[in-house]
Amino acid sequence: MSTKTRPRGGRRAGTALAALVGGVALVLAGCSTADDTPGGGAAAIDDGDLGFLTQEQFDELTQRVEEWTAVPEFVPPGPAFDIRPAQGKRFLVMPTASQLPVCHRIAEDTVEIAGRFGLEGTYFENSGGPPGWIPGFQQAIAQDYDAILLTCGIDVDQIAPVVQEATAAGIAVIDSGLGDTDNGSEQNPLVTAQTNVPTAESSRRAIDVMLLENRAEPFDILLITSNDVPSGVIMNEAIEEEVKKYCPECGIERMNVAVPDWATQITPEVAARLTANPDIKVVVPIFDGEVPPVIAGITQSGRTDVTIHAAYGGTAEYISQMGEPGYPLRSDVGPTGLWRAYAAVDQMLRVLSGAGAVPPDKASDPSRVWTVDNHEENAGVNEGFGDEFIKGYESLWLTS
C-alpha cells in the first residue's frame, strides 16, 4: 500500500498493470498458433443458421450488438456551473483495487483532470477490500482533505463506520460507479454523491455477442464472479438472466474469486473446470483484469475450443489482441477510463463548488462493446470513444 501524488501530466504505468500485460504475452506463447477459435465475430453473424435462436431473437440481438459496438454520444449530466469555489481544494482518490487496470487508470486520470482545473489530488493505491480502503479514509481524515473520490464503485456499506467518520469531519465522499443505471437514481445514504454506470446493460450486450457466435447448439459457460465488488454482483445477475432468456438449455458453472485472489486462484481453477467439463465452451470473467489468468487456465487445460466473452473493463491491452491467432478473447465491454474520470470529476466539482450534485444516473458514463470486428477502433482517439465528451464536460466548468 502506498500513497502517491500524481504529476499533472502523463500517465504512469502501474506495476500491477505491467504484470498483467506481461502475463498475457507469456500465456499467448503457449496458445495454439492456429486460428481454431469458434465463432467469427460480428462479421460472421448471418441468419443462415439460427441454431437455438428464433428469427425474432436473432434480429433483436443483432440490432443491440450493432448499437453497442458504435461510438456512444455525449449527453450533458446537468447545467454548466461556476467551479471557482472548488479550486484550491484537496481530494484523495482511491480505486476499488489498484491491480484492476481500468480502475487504476481512472484514479490517475481524475488527479490529472482535476489538477488542470485548480484542485490538488492524491492517489491512494490499495489492493482491495476493507483492509485496503480503511487506511485511505483514515489518511484523508487525519490530513483534513476536502473530498474522498472512490472509483469503480467501492462498497461503502462494508466500511460504514469510517465513511461516517469522514462525512462527520466535513469531507465529501463521492463514489464513482457505485450504482447501476438499471436500478434508477437511488443513492447510498452513506455518501455525499455518487455516479451510476450501465454495468448490467453492458454485460447483457457483450453476452449477446457470445449468444450469436455460439448459437449452433446449447453449450456450458464458466462464469467467474467477484462478489466483493458490488457491480460484479449486478453483472453476474444480468448475465444469468440474459443466458436463461435466450438459451435456457445452456448450463452455467460458477466460481467466485475475490479481487485480491485473482492472481493465485483463477488459473488452476479454470484449468480444472475445463478439464472436468468438456461441454464448457465459453469462460465469462466478470472483469477483464481476469483475462490473463483465465488464458493461462485455458492453456493449462489443453483446450483449444474455448473462448472468452463479456469481460468488463474495456482494457486496451487486451482488446488490441482480439482476432489474433490463438487469442481467445472474443468480446469485451466497458468505458474508456477517461470518460469515467471526467464523469467522476464533474460530480465532485459540483459538490465542492456548492452547485449541488446531479442524480447518479445523470452522472453516468457509457460503455462500448468490443468484438473481433471493431476492436481496431479501440486504438483511436480515447480508445475509440472520440473527444466530444471532453469538450462537453469542460464546457460546463465555468471559471469566469
| pLDDT for position 31 | 39
Q: How would residue 100 be classed by pLDDT, with cut points 50, 70 and 90?
A: confident
> What is the spatial distance between Cα 166 and Cα 156, in angstroms, rounded to a whole number?
12
Q: How would residue 102 be classed by pLDDT, with cut points 50, 70 and 90?
A: confident
Instruction: Write down the CATH number for the domain with range 72-199+336-398.
Output: 3.40.50.2300
Q: How would residue 48 be classed by pLDDT, with cut points 50, 70 and 90?
A: low
pLDDT at residue 363 is higher than 70: yes
- Asked whether the beta carbons of 228 and 259 are under 8 A apart, the reply is yes
Alpha helices by DSSP H, listed for 179-249, are 199-213, 230-246
Q: Domain map of the chain by residue range?
A: 72-199+336-398
pLDDT at residue 126 is higher than 80: yes
- Residue range 64-86: average pLDDT? 97
pLDDT at residue 203 is higher than 60: yes
DSSP helix/strand/coil, 306: coil
What burial class does residue 25 get, using C-beta atoms within 10 Å of its C-beta: 0-12 exposed, 13-18 middle, 19+ buried?
exposed
> What is the spatial distance between Cα 305 and Cα 207, in angstroms, rounded to a whole number?
18
| Least confidently predicted of 171-185, 260-274, 327-341, 360-374 | 171-185
* pTM given for the model: 0.79
| pLDDT for position 391 | 97
Q: How would residue 185 be classed by pLDDT, with cut points 50, 70 and 90?
A: low
Q: What residues pair up with 284 in beta bridges, in sequence order? A: 223
Distance from first CA to last CA of the chain, Å, rounded?
A: 40
pLDDT at residue 4 is higher than 70: no
Q: How would residue 123 be classed by pLDDT, with cut points 50, 70 and 90?
A: very high
Q: How would residue 33 be classed by pLDDT, with cut points 50, 70 and 90?
A: very low
What burial class does residue 305 get, using C-beta atoms within 10 Å of its C-beta: 0-12 exposed, 13-18 middle, 19+ buried?
middle
| pLDDT for position 22 | 35
Q: How would residue 345 be classed by pLDDT, with cut points 50, 70 and 90?
A: very high
> What is the spatial distance between Cα 18 and Cα 1, in angstroms, rounded to a whole number?
17
Q: Which run of H or of E encompasses 389?
A: helix 388-396
**Close Cβ partners of 21 (under 8 Å, ≥ 6 residues apart):** 292, 317
pLDDT at residue 155 is higher than 70: yes
- Residue range 174-179: average pLDDT? 93
pLDDT at residue 137 is higher than 70: yes
- Asked whether the beta carbons of 95 and 103 are under 8 A apart, the reply is yes
Q: Hey, CA dihedral for 266, 323, 109, 4, is it positive or negative?
A: positive
Q: How would residue 389 be classed by pLDDT, with cut points 50, 70 and 90?
A: very high
Mean per-residue pLDDT of the chain: 88
